Chain A
Amino acid sequence: MADPFLVAHHAAPRVFDISGKLSPVSVRDQMIRGQLFAQRAEAAGEITSKPGEGLLILGAGAGGVAAGITAASLGVPTTVLEPSPYPFRTQTRCSTRWIDPTQYDWPLDHWVAGQFPLTGLPPPLPWRSGFATHAAAFWQTALQSFLIGGGSPLLDLKLATTFINCQCPAGASNIQATYFAQNTLQTHSYGAVLVAVGFGTENIQVGPTYRGFAFWESDLFSAPNWGMPGSAAPRIVISGAGDGALQDLLRIMTRLDSAKDVLDGSGVSAGAAMQLKDLDRAAHGAMAWGAGPQHDHAWHAFLDTECRRLVRFELQQSAVRQKLATMLRHMPQHIELIHSCTHLTPLYVLNRFLAWLIAEYLKEEKGVSLLVARTRLTSVASATSGHICTLSPAACHGRAHEIELETARDCRNSTLPSSTRKAIKDVIVVRHGITAPAQAIQNLTPAVRPRQILPPFIL
């Protein structure tokens, strides 16, 4: 019987894909997928220790290297091709994004430990919560330790390498892959090829000249006074309602690095935690198998409603209000998060709940509307003398820009009279999701569902 995991990720003869349309998933999820793929492919005899039956992996990110270490540790000669000069380049370059292998498993037992897995087999790349660049340093250490500990003959990382193509007629016992490495064109045979190259292109540009900080880019949101020169009060807008937008909202509002810290500081009850976990489980099941805008809209609206119901209950507790007052005492004076529909759109309920907790608290306490629905960012232009936007977020950060906001249709595409307004903002965060590869390419793995998080206990 065919392995369901391999079948789901099977894209072409002897080619498997754990990237493409999966977004948004977590770093941990990619590692689990890489590890599972190597274990299952070896168990199925698709990759072996015999010459010409090894594994070729495209991409030396967390998922690709996790797969590589796992395969090599099973005796399978494994080659990893990486176009850049070092592995884990996405996280290595990002010193401001906090990542945590268990942040969204709340309130499972290993959540408190900040370490994954709590028990069971060691992962190929162990890590604990921290800034992305620190996590990448742990992975680098694990990789070097693996090579030093006997993995070197079996795991070959080829850096600064250009993949050319691979050829495998149906029914062939091997796949031929060609790449350009160390100034030579090379063709070798493998048992399988695993594609682990990420999810596509992040949408962070508005108009031809403005670009916001990317999710995995070192930003200035945690800098003193949010990176503004002097003591000027920044006027901040965040455009988007997914996990990236809400993570940045929480960081900017509380000066805390992670949703976990915000929750810890909020004094929310254990009872609410359990209810949220149920919501989280339901959301992960439903969103992964959704069937279009109507379905998504109904689910997001339901999750928002449930989170707000819990928030109203929690805000009746004076301890929670006191803790929120303390946590938000240094929040920016001018900030709003605009989003295009009537609801937020994160995959993780914890982000959704915390955003609503802060928004409802501010509404009751100060009459401030933090979350602005049915609004879309349509243009950004410099309003600072001598400053020209050139797709450089660090240069634009903290400078006055005129933005145009449009009344948006909701995500079911219902009609609404369009109106626009303009505003001046100094910090503009753009989190407009990720554009996956073309639909035809996504259809190469129709059984893989986007937004599907593998359960942490699967290994």
Chain B
Amino acid sequence: MEFRRIQETSERPRFAPEGAFSVNSSLVRYIDVRSYPPELIPSKIDQYFSDQQSDQNGLKGVAVAVPQSSSALALSLAARGIFLMVGAASEPLEAVLERCRAQMEFIAAAGPRAPGFTPSARSPDLSPPSRTQSPYAQKPAHFDEAAYREWMGLLSKPWHEEDAWKSET
């Protein structure tokens, strides 16, 4: 599918609900799904990007949605090469895409996050001891079994109790 070039005319909004915009000197496709019912959003996004190849960074495109109560959609889309950008339904699409552009360009300018997904080079002389001999596999000298059990209990407590006040804001 050809990218749809956005025409700046007085008869139509600068950004249509589907189209492409420029990020880091390349055109990136986007779809605005803010007007769709939540249950239809994933399928609409998948359908729109189904024929889209990823660019060299793995990016297929950007989906614009209303703020989500969970990051689950963002994470599942990211696994499929789609970036989720959120914006209030009242926010002009142009402004949302501009924020998206600014954030992505800032992140790209800061350098690559991933040095190749390969383990760091280790000198053969510095090979670690066997895993069972590792000092970190042993109990530290200060280890306290009772404190450790209490700690595990705290870590498994529901977070809602711990900071329920945060939900008031």
* Contacts from A to B (Cβ < 8 Å): 2, 6-7, 10-14, 16, 39, 42-46, 48-49, 53, 58, 69, 72-76, 83-87, 89-90, 93, 121-124, 126, 128, 137-138, 140-152, 154, 157, 159-160, 162-166, 168, 170-174, 191-192, 195, 197, 201, 211, 214, 216-218, 391-394, 437-438, 440-441, 443-444, 446
B71 to A148, Cβ gap below 8 A?
Answer: no
Contact of A192 among B70, B75, B136, B156 (CB under 8 A): B136
Given the complex of chains A and B, what is the CA–CA distance between A53 and B137 in angstroms?
A: 12
Contact of B70 among A86, A171, A437 (CB under 8 A): A86
Measured between beta carbons, the chain B residues less than 8 angstroms from A7 are 135
A/B interface sample: 16 pairs, CB < 8 A: A11-B140, A12-B143, A16-B136, A43-B120, A44-B136, A46-B131, A75-B117, A85-B72, A150-B58, A154-B117, A170-B139, A172-B132, A217-B165, A438-B147, A440-B150, A444-B142
Whole-angstrom distance between the Cβ of B49 and the nearest chain A Cβ: 12
The closest CB in chain A to the CB of B146 belongs to A440
Given the complex of chains A and B, what is the CA–CA distance between A13 and B136 in angstroms?
A: 6
Count chain B CB atoms within 10 A of each CB in A11, A93, A121, A218 and give the residue with the most. Answer: A11
A13 to B139, Cβ gap below 8 A?
Answer: yes
Given the complex of chains A and B, what is the CA–CA distance between A367 and B159 in angstroms?
A: 47
Given the complex of chains A and B, what is the CA–CA distance between A271 and B122 in angstroms?
A: 46
Whole-angstrom distance between the Cβ of A68 and the nearest chain B Cβ: 11
Contact of B159 among A84, A144, A150 (CB under 8 A): A84
- Report the number of A-B residue pairs with Cβ-Cβ less than 8 Å: 213
Count chain B CB atoms within 10 A of each CB in A121, A122, A443 and give the residue with the most. Answer: A122
Q: Does B169 contact A (CB under 8 A)?
A: yes
A168 to B142, Cβ gap below 8 A?
Answer: no
Whole-angstrom distance between the Cβ of A126 and the nearest chain B Cβ: 4
A165 to B71, Cβ gap below 8 A?
Answer: no
B150 to A438, Cβ gap below 8 A?
Answer: yes
B104 to A141, Cβ gap below 8 A?
Answer: yes
Measured between beta carbons, the chain A residues less than 8 angstroms from B162 are 201
Measured between beta carbons, the chain B residues less than 8 angstroms from A173 are 130-132, 137
Given the complex of chains A and B, what is the CA–CA distance between A13 and B133 in angstroms?
A: 11
Knowing A151-B114, A217-B169, A391-B165, say if A171 contacts B144 (CB, 8 Å). no
Given the complex of chains A and B, what is the CA–CA distance between A97 and B137 in angstroms?
A: 40
Measured between beta carbons, the chain A residues less than 8 angstroms from B148 are 11-12, 444
Count chain A CB atoms within 10 A of each CB in B82, B108, B159, B162 and give the residue with the most. Answer: B159
Q: Does B115 contact A (CB under 8 A)?
A: yes
A214 to B166, Cβ gap below 8 A?
Answer: yes
The closest CB in chain B to the CB of A73 belongs to B114
4 pairs of A and B residues whose beta carbons are closest in the complex:
A122-B111, A45-B128, A85-B70, A126-B110
Known: A87-B71, A162-B156. 11 other contacts (CB 8 A): A11-B140, A73-B114, A85-B71, A146-B113, A163-B155, A173-B131, A214-B165, A214-B166, A394-B169, A440-B146, A441-B147
Given the complex of chains A and B, what is the CA–CA distance between A123 and B57 in angstroms?
A: 18
Q: Does B168 contact A (CB under 8 A)?
A: yes
Q: Does B43 contact A (CB under 8 A)?
A: no
Whole-angstrom distance between the Cβ of A232 and the nearest chain B Cβ: 24
Given the complex of chains A and B, what is the CA–CA distance between A148 and B81 in angstroms?
A: 5
Q: Does B37 contact A (CB under 8 A)?
A: no
B83 to A148, Cβ gap below 8 A?
Answer: yes
* Contacts from B to A (Cβ < 8 Å): 57-59, 68-72, 74-75, 78-79, 81-84, 99-100, 103-104, 106-108, 110-120, 122, 127-128, 130-140, 142-144, 146-148, 150-152, 154-156, 158-159, 162, 165-166, 168-169
B119 to A74, Cβ gap below 8 A?
Answer: yes
B155 to A197, Cβ gap below 8 A?
Answer: yes
Knowing A12-B139, A126-B107, A197-B155, say if A48 contacts B70 (CB, 8 Å). no
Measured between beta carbons, the chain B residues less than 8 angstroms from A443 are 142, 144, 147
The closest CB in chain B to the CB of A128 belongs to B106
Given the complex of chains A and B, what is the CA–CA distance between A87 and B122 in angstroms?
A: 32
Given the complex of chains A and B, what is the CA–CA distance between A168 and B58 in angstroms?
A: 38
The closest CB in chain A to the CB of B78 belongs to A147
B74 to A144, Cβ gap below 8 A?
Answer: yes
The closest CB in chain B to the CB of A70 belongs to B113
A13 to B58, Cβ gap below 8 A?
Answer: no
Knowing A75-B119, A150-B117, A391-B165, say if A444 contacts B83 (CB, 8 Å). no
A73 to B147, Cβ gap below 8 A?
Answer: no
B140 to A73, Cβ gap below 8 A?
Answer: no
Measured between beta carbons, the chain A residues less than 8 angstroms from B134 are 44-46
Measured between beta carbons, the chain A residues less than 8 angstroms from B116 are 73
A446 to B71, Cβ gap below 8 A?
Answer: no
Count chain B CB atoms within 10 A of each CB in A126, A148, A174 and give the residue with the most. Answer: A148
Measured between beta carbons, the chain A residues less than 8 angstroms from B133 are 171
Measured between beta carbons, the chain B residues less than 8 angstroms from A58 are 155
A166 to B159, Cβ gap below 8 A?
Answer: no
Measured between beta carbons, the chain A residues less than 8 angstroms from B128 are 44-46
B103 to A138, Cβ gap below 8 A?
Answer: yes
Count chain B CB atoms within 10 A of each CB in A43, A45, A53 and give the residue with the most. Answer: A45
A440 to B117, Cβ gap below 8 A?
Answer: no
The closest CB in chain B to the CB of A442 belongs to B147
The closest CB in chain A to the CB of B151 belongs to A441
Whole-angstrom distance between the Cβ of A42 and the nearest chain B Cβ: 6
B113 to A145, Cβ gap below 8 A?
Answer: yes
B165 to A148, Cβ gap below 8 A?
Answer: no
The closest CB in chain B to the CB of A147 belongs to B78
The closest CB in chain B to the CB of A444 belongs to B147
A148 to B136, Cβ gap below 8 A?
Answer: no
